Chain A
C-alpha cells in the first residue's frame, strides 16, 4: 500500500467519524414533531401492568381491567393536565401499587437494577484479568512438563525405529 493511500485512509476515517457524529447529532436532536394523544396513551400504557393478567402491560392486554385503565389514561391525556409521569403516578395511586411494570429503584427492588451493573463490572474485570493473565503467562518457552512429553515421544519413536 502506498503512503498516499494510507494518508487518505487516515483522513477518510476522521472524515467518516465527523460525518457520522454530525448525522447522529442532527438526527438525534431534531424535533420529530408533536406527539399525538394516541402516541402518549400508547407510551403510558406500555409502562403500566394490567392488574389481573400477570405480567402483561395494559398496552398488550385485552382484559377488562386493562380496558378500564386504558380508558382512564385516555381521559387524563385528553384533559391535557398531567405529564406522562404524573399520569402514571395518578394511575398508581388510584388503582393500587401493582400497576407498575418497572420495578422501583428503592429498597430491595433496586437489586434488579444494581445486579446487572454489577454483572457488567464483573464481566469487564474478568475479561481484563483473563487477557492480562494469558498475555503474561505464556512466554513461549517449553515447561518441564513439555520437555518430559517430548522425551517420552522421542523414546517411543526410537523403539519403533528399532523394530523396523
Chain B
C-alpha cells in the first residue's frame, strides 16, 4: 500500500489513511448518533473531527517538509521543486500543481469540520447538527480518498533525480501566489458548511428558518473569501501576465465565478426567507448549486477536459469528481422532492415594488448570469462531443452578454436599497430616490465633462453614481441614528459591499472602454511621447540569479521616477516571462511591458505602454467589499421585539 520511497512518502500516505478512517468513523458516529440519540456516541464526533484535522495538518506538513528539504525521491517534488526556488515561492510550490492543491483542499476542509464542531460543541446531541456533521465527514472522506488515490501527492518519483524545474515560472514571480489560492479555497470549501446544514435540515425535516440564521455568518465568510480570492486573482493577472487585463474569461476564472454568482444570489434571497418565510426551495437549490458548482468547476478545470492557463495537466481525478457531482445533485434533488410538502411557503408578495420583489428580480438576473457563464464555459465541450470539431467561446461573447446583465444589476442596486418590505408608494420612492438620482446625474455630468464617450460606459457611470447614492443614503441614515454602530450589521455592511461593487463596475467599464496602448521604440537619451506622457529609457540592466536571468529596462515616466519592466528567462524551464511595471494613479495607471528581443548594450528598448483609466479603483472596490463583508458579519442593532415594525431601529434609545 505504501509506495516505495522516502520516509516522507510513507508518512504522508499514513496521515491520509488516518484521515480517511477518521472521516469514515466520524460520518458513522454522526449518523448513528442522529438515529439512536445516544449521547456517548455524540461525544465522539468532536474527537473524530480533531483527528482528521490533525491527520490533514500532518499530511500537509509532511509535504511542506519534503518540499523545503528538497526530497527529490518524491514525484511531486521532482515536478514542482527545485534547489533554486527562493524559500517563499518554494513554500507556495506545494499548491502549484494538482496533487498539492487537492491536499490543500483537504486541509481546509478538515479545518472547517473541526471549526464547526467547536462552534456547535454544546449542541452535539441535536439531530440536525449530527446530520450536518455527517455530511461534513462524508465530504471529507471523499477528498481524503481523492488525495490518497487518484491525486496522490506522495507518489515515489523516478530514482536518480537530484533537482527539478521548480514551479511554473508564472507562479514564482509574484507574492500574490501565496495568498490567492488559499483564500479562494477558503471560499470554495467554506460553502460546504451551509450545504451540510441544508442537507441536515432536509433530512430531519426541520426546514424552518433556524438553520439559516445559524449558518448565516459561515456563508458570509465563505462568500467573502471567494470574493477576495477572485479579486486577488485578477490582481495577480494584472501584475504578472503582461497584457494589462484583469479578467480573461478563462475557464478556471469562470469556475471560480460560478459559485460566487449563485452564492451572491443566495445571500440576498435568504433575507426574504428570513423575513417572510418564502423561497425555501429556491434558497436550498441555490446552496446546492453553489456547492455542486465548486465541484463541477474543479472537475472542468482539473480533469483536462477543458484547457486554460490554469489547467495543470491531465489526471485521473475527472471521473471521481464527476461521480461526486452527480451524487450531490441527485441526493439533493431527491431530498428537496421528498420534503416538498414541508417546503411549501406560507407567505405571499403584496407588490413587485417592494424589497422582496427586488430580491426576486435580483435572483432571476443572477440565475441568468450564472447560466450565461456556465453555457459559455461548457459550450465548446458540447460542440466537440456532438460534431467533433473544436470552437472557442472567448472574452467577446461573455463581454457582450454580461454587460447588459451588469447594467440591469446596477439599476437594481440603485433602487432596491431604498425599498421597504411589502410595498412602496410612488411618493415614498420619489422622496427616497431623489438625492441618489442626483448623485447619478452628477456622475454622468462629470463623466461627460472629462470627455467620456459611448452609451454603455456613460450609462454605467450614471447608474454607478445613482447606486452609490442609494447605498450612502442607508449608511448616512444609520450612522446619524446610531453613530459608529451604523456601519455594522448586514444592511449597513452590505451597503459598503455595494459601494465596492460599484467601484469595480466603474473601474471595469472605464478600463475596458478607454484603454489605449502604443508600442514605443526607445533610445537612451531620446524621450518618446504617448497620451500626454513622456517615456525615456535610462538604461538596461541585467541581473543573474540561480534560477533566472532577468533583463530590465529602466524607464523614466514624465522625467520622474524610473519604472522597470523586465523579461526574465527561467533557465531551468527555458521559459521567458515578461514582468510589467505599473505607475499607479488615482485617475489611471500607466502600464509598461518590455517586448523581446532586448540586447543589453544596444541602448534600445521596445516597450508597450497601456494607459488604463481608473483601474486602481478596482482594487479599492475589492478592499471595500472585504471590509463591508466583515462589517456585515458584526451583529447590527435590531428592532426590539416590542417595538412597532415600522419604528426606526434604535430610535427610541435616543429619546
Contact = CB atoms under 8 A, between A and B. Distances in A.
Interface of A: 1, 6, 9-10, 12-13, 16, 19-20, 23-24, 26-28, 30-32, 36, 38-39, 42, 46-47, 49, 54-57, 59-62, 98, 100-103, 108-109, 111-112, 115-116, 119-120, 123-124, 126-127, 130-131, 134-135, 137-138
B434 interface: yes
A28 B454 contact: yes
B445 A109 contact: no
Contact of B364 (A16, A111, A124): A124
Interface residues of B, number: 66
B367 interface: yes
Contacts, number: 156
Nearest to A9: B430
Given A28-B458, A55-B251, A108 B386 contact: yes
Which 3 pairs across A and B sit closest by C-beta, in order of nearness?
Answer: A101-B394, A138-B348, A54-B307
A48 B39 CA distance: 64
A32 B450 CA distance: 12
Given A26-B448, A137-B348, A1 B431 contact: yes
B260 to A, nearest CB: 19
Nearest to B434: A9
Contacts of B241: 60
A131 B357 contact: yes
Contacts of A126: 364
Interface in B430-449: 430-431, 434, 437-438, 440-441, 444-445, 447-448
Contacts of B360: 127, 130-131
Given A55-B308, A62-B242, A116 B453 contact: no
Interface of B: 241-243, 245, 248, 250-251, 278, 307-309, 347-352, 357, 360-361, 364-365, 367-368, 371-372, 375-376, 379, 383, 386-387, 390-397, 401, 427, 430-431, 434, 437-438, 440-441, 444-445, 447-448, 452-455, 458-459, 462, 515-519, 578
Nearest to A48: B394
B519 to A, nearest CB: 7
Nearest to B608: A38
Nearest to B513: A32
Contacts of A49: 392, 394
A20 B434 CA distance: 14
Contacts of B350: 135
Contacts of B349: 130-131, 134-135
Given A32-B453, A60-B243, A62-B242, A116 B401 contact: yes
A102 B393 CA distance: 6
A56 B237 CA distance: 13
A137 B350 CA distance: 11
A6 B455 contact: no
A19 B431 CA distance: 19
A23 B455 CA distance: 10
Contact of B397 (A6, A112, A120): A112
A98 B392 contact: yes
B392 A116 contact: no
B516 A123 contact: no
Nearest to A116: B372
Nearest to B348: A138
B364 A32 contact: no
B242 A36 contact: no
27 contacts: A16-B437, A16-B441, A23-B448, A24-B444, A27-B453, A28-B455, A38-B516, A42-B517, A46-B395, A47-B396, A54-B308, A55-B250, A55-B307, A55-B308, A55-B393, A62-B242, A62-B243, A102-B396, A102-B397, A115-B371, A116-B371, A116-B372, A123-B368, A127-B364, A130-B349, A131-B349, A135-B351
